[in-house]
Structure 1
Amino acid sequence: MIPQAILPIVLLAMSNVFMTFAWYGHLKFTSKPLWLVVIVSWGIAFFEYCLAVPANRYGAAVYSPAELKTIQEVITLMVFAGFSATYLGEPLSINQWVGFAFIALGAFFIFKAPL
């Protein structure tokens, strides 16, 4: 079995892959009607919710809500960075990496004991 502290992270990572495709995957299909990509995106997002909701339910036993949200945001950035470079063919710029680094620094303070 997956340890209780790791399970929500795994589920959040999987859910973020679905959500990234739901939010940004349609950018490669700009000729398709907007109503169609909205419906397809909703369908993809359903599977994201099927993973994210249990991730937060299980994660609440180990992490605070602020910690869960921070984990989710950091995972989102990691998934998006890979998605942007591989699927969209748009690697992140140095400015974007610096911005993500500042967000990671913020995440560090969320998990650090009180100052």
Structure 2
Amino acid sequence: MTAYLAPIGLLIISNIFMTFAWYGHLGDMSRPMWLAILIAWGIAFFEYCLAVPANRIGYGVYSAAELKTLQEVITLLIFAGFAVFWLGEKLTLNHLVGFALIAAGAFFIFKGPISVS
């Protein structure tokens, strides 16, 4: 069971780090670009320290496509919360419809091959 849950937990934490690395500087644009880049690199290091083990552990129970799909869905959920709570943006119906379509795609990735007979 750990092999199924550990990658998800690690990917959630790693995506929190990566979201702050990529977008956290948008909350304070007063820093010079070079400093924002250095800070982002520093944060991204910790993201990689979590994402690599997540994928190594997860590859035994999930396919590469499933791992990537998990990562993308987790990224969207983390980013949606980040955009609302850190950047003060509002989610619109368009965002929700787009996320639902991505979730539908994730369903088909995890469903497995569709037999055509």
Normalised to the residue count of structure 2, the TM-score between the two structures is 0.95
Which deviates more, 6-15 or 85-94? 85-94
Which residue in the other structure is 1:76 paired with?
A: 75
Deviation readout 1:13-52 (Å, 9 max, x if unpaired): 0000000000000001111110000000000000000000
Please tell me the residue identity of whatever aligns with 1:52: A
Which residue in the other structure is 1:4 paired with?
A: 3
8 Å Cα contact 1:15/1:51 also seen in 2? yes
Which deviates more, 91-100 or 6-15? 91-100
Which residue in the other structure is 2:86 paired with?
A: 87
8 Å Cα contact 1:81/1:91 also seen in 2? no
Unpaired runs of 5+ residues, structure 2, are: none
Does residue 1:28 correspond to 2:27, yes or no? yes
Deviation readout 1:83-114 (Å, 9 max, x if unpaired): 11111111211101110110000000000032
1:58 shift after superposition: 0.2
* Superposition misfits of 4+ residues, deviation over 4 angstroms: none
Please tell me the residue identity of whatever aligns with 1:109: F
Distance 2:97 2:36 in 1: 32
Please tell me the residue identity of whatever aligns with 2:23: Y
Distance 1:29 1:113 in 2: 44
Distance 1:56 1:3 in 2: 13
Unpaired runs of 5+ residues, structure 1, are: none
Q: Percent identity?
A: 65
Aligned length: 114
SS in 2 for 1:75: helix
- C-alpha RMSD of matched pairs (Å): 0.9
Which residue in the other structure is 1:50 paired with?
A: 49
Distance 1:91 1:99 in 2: 15
Distance 1:92 1:18 in 2: 21
Which deviates more, 66-75 or 2-11? 2-11
Which deviates more, 11-20 or 88-97? 88-97
